[in-house]
Every structure is written in structure tokens, then in C-alpha cells.
Chain A
Amino acid sequence: MNNPEFDTALFAAASDAEKKTESIVRPSVGYWRDVWTRLSRNRVSFAALMIIVAIMLCAIIIPEVSVDKYNTGELQISNNSPNARHWFGTDNIGRDVFVRVFYGARYSILIGLVAALINLVIGVLYGSVSAFFGGRADIIMMRIVDVLYSIPLTIYVIILMTFLNRPGAEGSEIGTMIIAFSISYWISMARIVRGEILQLKQQEFVLAAKALGASDWRVLIKHLIPNCLGSITVTTMMLVPQAIFLEAFLSFIGLGLSAPRASLGTLCNDALAGLNQYPYQMFFPALMISVIILAFNLFGDGLRDALDPKMKD
């Protein structure tokens, strides 16, 4: 190099030590890892998560390993108050309430989770298709949602339960309940996903993907939906307690699981007749429902903050 403007003596090759100052030694933190860090720093929602996990484990393990079974009881020990042998007491035909509460939690949580997942799929598909293809399809699809939205969902679910769950079809209640919830609760998810995608589809990365020749479905599934995952996750988490609540509500008015199966709602319903004499039979399942719903709500709140710190008010 014989450039008159630079004096080459002023330049020297960097040593290895100097080069290392710029090297990246800490692992790069991905989105979900970041979310996890933020979530575990939020003490309230982390505790809520721990409670959810603990209750789920107990619901799986306790009814299996316990000496008392959820469906067998001895009449001699019926309606015993809580004691050292039966921690939550016994019910009117001598079944252990402690085991039954955890057995009931199984069905409550199962229905909540499955219903939320199905609503997730339906809502995401409906909302994203409506927003992405737009035009007349969007108008018609959103009109349908508006009509469904103006009917109180509980009434709607009650009708579906009545007509789907005819007498003589025993043991089908879980399926019926999940179907009834699934037909109704996807609406909020569809609206949220539609709103997000309407905004996202204007952005440059969508244009870039299209310019590179990506098909509509590929843009939708590979580019748009992954960008809505945050709000989809939060909405799903909020659907779980709603479904658990609705299940308890329906069971309490006699539209729930039939004996010997039990959920927390049917346990409360069964305890109602003897409330004056045996309040503990109502107290424990009612407490369990409240704790589960509270834990899911607090966890959902924390998750929302963790997924998108900007949304925090």
C-alpha cells in the first residue's frame, strides 16, 4: 500500500488479547428464556405456578396411593368431622373427603386444560383466517362472532349441555362439557388474534416473506401466528380458570358429572343438602376451587407481564 494520505506506520495488527475483548462469552438469551427469567423474578406468580404444579401432582398421586378410595365408603363412619384418620372428614356415605377433593380436582383441572386447548386451536384458526384474508370473509366471520358474543355464554352452554347430554348416555358428560365449552369460549381468543394479525400483516417482514414467494398459509403459520404467541398464551392461561369456574357452576346446578365420578363442583353440590350440619363437606372443595382459580389467575397475570413487559400498567 503506497497511499500518500496514510502513514502505514501508524497502523498495527491487533493482538489476540485485543481481539477477545469484543467476543461474546455470555450465552445469548432467547425470548422464552427471557420470559422465564422475568416470570421467576415475580414472586407472586411464581408461587402461584408452584401451587398449580403441587395441586396437579397431588391430584394425580393422592387418589392412587391412598388407602381410601374415592368411590368406596363405610356407612358406619358416615358424616365424620375432620380427624386424624380422615383429614377432611367423611361424606354422607362414609367416603373420605380428602381423597374425593383431590379426585375432583383431577376432573376440574382436566376439563379446564382440555377446554382451553381446544378453544386455543379454534380461536387462533378463526381469528387468523378472518384477519389475514380480510374483505368480505372477515366481515361475515366477525358478524357471526358479534352475534354469538351478545348471547350470555353460560346460557348457551346450558342449552348445549341439555341437548347433547341426553338421559341414558352415561359417562359422556366430560365429552359433552368439553364440546359445549369449545363451541362457546373461542370467541374472545378469535377477537384477540384477529386484532393482532390485522396489525402485524401491515409490517415489512410480511411483505418480505411474500416477495420471497411464500404462500399465504406459510406466511400465516410461520410468520404471523408465532408473533402473536404472547397474547395467545396469556388468553389460554386465562381460559383455564374460566373453564374450571364454568364447570363448577354447571355441576352446582346439577348439569355436571354423574356419580361415582366427581368434580369439585359436584362435591359442593352434594354437600349443599347437609350444609347446616356438615359445613366442612362444602368448605374443603369450595376452598380448593377458589385456590385453583386464584392461582391460575395470578399466574396468568404474571405471565402477561413476563411475555410483554410493555403491557404492564
Chain B
Amino acid sequence: MGRYILDRFLASLLTIFVVITLTFFLMRLMPGGPFTSERITEKAREAMNAKYGLDKPVVEQYVIYLRNILHGDFGTSMIFKGKEVTGDIIFQFFPNSAKLGIVSVALSLAAGLGLGLLAGARQGRLADKAATLIATLGITIPSFVIGSVLLYTVGVRLRWLPTTGFTSWRHYIMPAAALSGIGLSFITRLTRTKYVEVKNSDFMRTARAKGLDKSTIIFKHGLRNSILPVITYMGPLIANVLTGSFVIERLFAVPGLGSDFVQSVSRRDYSVVMGVVIFYCIFIIACNFLVDILYVVVDPRIKLQNNA
């Protein structure tokens, strides 16, 4: 176990290093610079370049950038002068995104597992068909369409929920629902397929034959054995919620890192874009790492191997 964790940890570090290197050189090797489009004199531009260290050779810049990142310093925003990428942007906005993300993941899990078990238990019946329909629609309708429809009907027409802002629990409902569409659908499908397989296995028959309570059979024996594919999907799910937050936070005016990232992209605030991308990648890779470990904890039968 310890050996496996160490291996995976080193592989994750390598991946993060590659991401940083790729992003850095991609950004530096493109023609033009962050101040090319600003209306300033040649001299002022040179001064700006010198201030951000852009006048040094690329390799030297790279070494400096790496050293700064190791100290947790992603530099300062190139558009909002003086704003630190880590302190004033990432740590300012990410908690909101994280809260929304956690609510959305919880919603996807609860609804997806529920629908999946229901569909699997009532295979071929009406409930199964309804759940399959929901899962198909959830995959095909883009999150921003679900979001806009909710915003217009529930928010503007019915006035049941507030449309913008992020202060009370009522603000979470619509964005979290819109973000959950895809995750919910995938979890429903995965759970259904696995539960149909598990349902007919020997241990389930034994549980029924012993005369156990129906909910014990489904939740203790059925759910536990159907949950593995869902755990594998947790990594992609988190990545999905994260990228989905780019549009959903913008749509519902949530002050999160996603909407801030998109604004930085359109303003071409290079240092912020790079800092946020690297932060996101580290976050995703860390999540995948945790999911891998969780996977082994849930199912001890799985042999720890590093040949994935």
C-alpha cells in the first residue's frame, strides 16, 4: 500500500511538473506579449516587460517562475496591477466555487445513485424507462441551457428562487442543479448497469433468503457492491463540475474562481490565467490521487498495482 501510494504520488508530481512546463512555454513561445495590445509607448512597454521579468531569456524566466511557484507565489495580475494571483484571486474566489462544487457533487451522487438503484431494481418497468430518459437528457442538454431554462422559469417567471448572488442557501439550488446534469446522468447509468449485474448474484440471493429487510438488502449489500464504477467516475466528475462552473457561475453571477477565470481569459490577463490553470491542474490531480486511494479502501479485493 505504502509503495503504491508513493508511486502514484511521484507520478502526480511529474504530471504537475509537465503541466507547468507546457503551459509556461506555450504562453511564452506565442508571438506578442501581454502588453502588445495596450496603447503605450515603446519605452513604457519595455519598462513593463522589465517589471514582469519578460526581458530576460525564456529559460531564465522559467527557472524564476518555477522557484516562485514552489514558494506558492504565482505572481501578480497583469491587468489589475498589484493584485496577487494566489492571495487576492485564487484564495479569494475559490472557496465559493468549492462550496458550489461540493453541493453539486453531493446532488449528483444522491440523485444519481437513487435513480440508478431504482432503475436497476425495476429493470424494464416504467421507472427504469423514466430514469433512462432523464439520464439521456442530462447528457445531451448542455449545462448552460439547463441553467438558462431554470433561471428564466424558476427565477424570473415564478420568482421562487433568487437569480443572482451567493449569500443564502437558496442561491445554491439552481446553479448546483444546472451543474449536476451530466454527473447525475453518468452516475445513474453506471449504477443501473452495475446493480442489474449485482442484483442476480449469489450473495444477494442469500441476503433475500435469510429474510433480511428490503432496505438492508438494497443499501447494505446492493449499493456497496454497485458503487465501484461510480468511485472511478469521481475524478472525471470533479473535473466536469470544475469546468462547468465557468459558465454556470457566469450565468448566476456567482463570485467564484470559474467566472473570474473566464474574465481573465477574455481580458488576456496571462499571469492570472496561468496561475489558475496550474492551480486547477494540481487540484484535479490531487483529487484523482485521493479517488485512487479511496477506491482501494472501498474494495480491498483490488490488487494494488501501478500499471494503469
> A residues touching B (Cβ–Cβ < 8 Å)?
146-147, 150-152, 154-155, 158-164, 166-168, 241, 245, 248-249, 252-255, 268, 272, 275-276, 279, 282, 286, 289-290, 293-294, 297-298, 313
Contacts and interface: CB of A to CB of B under 8 A. Distances in A.
Nearest to A298: B136
A246 to B, nearest CB: 10
A151 to B, nearest CB: 5
A297 B152 contact: no
A280 B78 CA distance: 39
Nearest to A301: B136
Interface stretch (B66-74, B91-99, B243-251): B243-251
Nearest to A167: B37
B102 to A, nearest CB: 18
A162 B144 contact: no
A252 B145 CA distance: 10
Nearest to A154: B243
Contact of B277 (A155, A168, A298): A155
A254 to B, nearest CB: 5
Given A151-B281, A163-B27, A290 B141 contact: yes
Interface of B: 14-15, 18-19, 23, 26-27, 30-32, 37, 136-137, 139-142, 144-145, 148-149, 151-152, 156, 193, 239-240, 242-243, 246-247, 250-251, 262, 265-266, 268, 273, 277, 280-281, 284-285, 288
A252 B144 contact: yes
Contacts, number: 105
Which residue, of B239, B247, B288, has the highest number of chain A Cβ atoms within 10 A?
A: B247
Contacts of A241: 140
A157 to B, nearest CB: 10
A166 B31 CA distance: 9
A147 B30 contact: no
B156 A275 contact: yes
B265 A245 contact: no
A164 B30 contact: yes
A170 B140 CA distance: 31
Nearest to B262: A253
Given A150-B285, A152-B284, A162-B265, A272 B145 contact: no
B140 A294 contact: yes
B273 A159 contact: yes
Residue in A146, A150, A272 with the greatest tally of chain B CB atoms within 10 Å: A150
5 contacts: A147-B19, A150-B281, A168-B37, A249-B142, A297-B136
Contact of B18 (A147, A154, A159): A147
B288 A150 contact: yes
Contacts of A249: 142, 144, 246-247
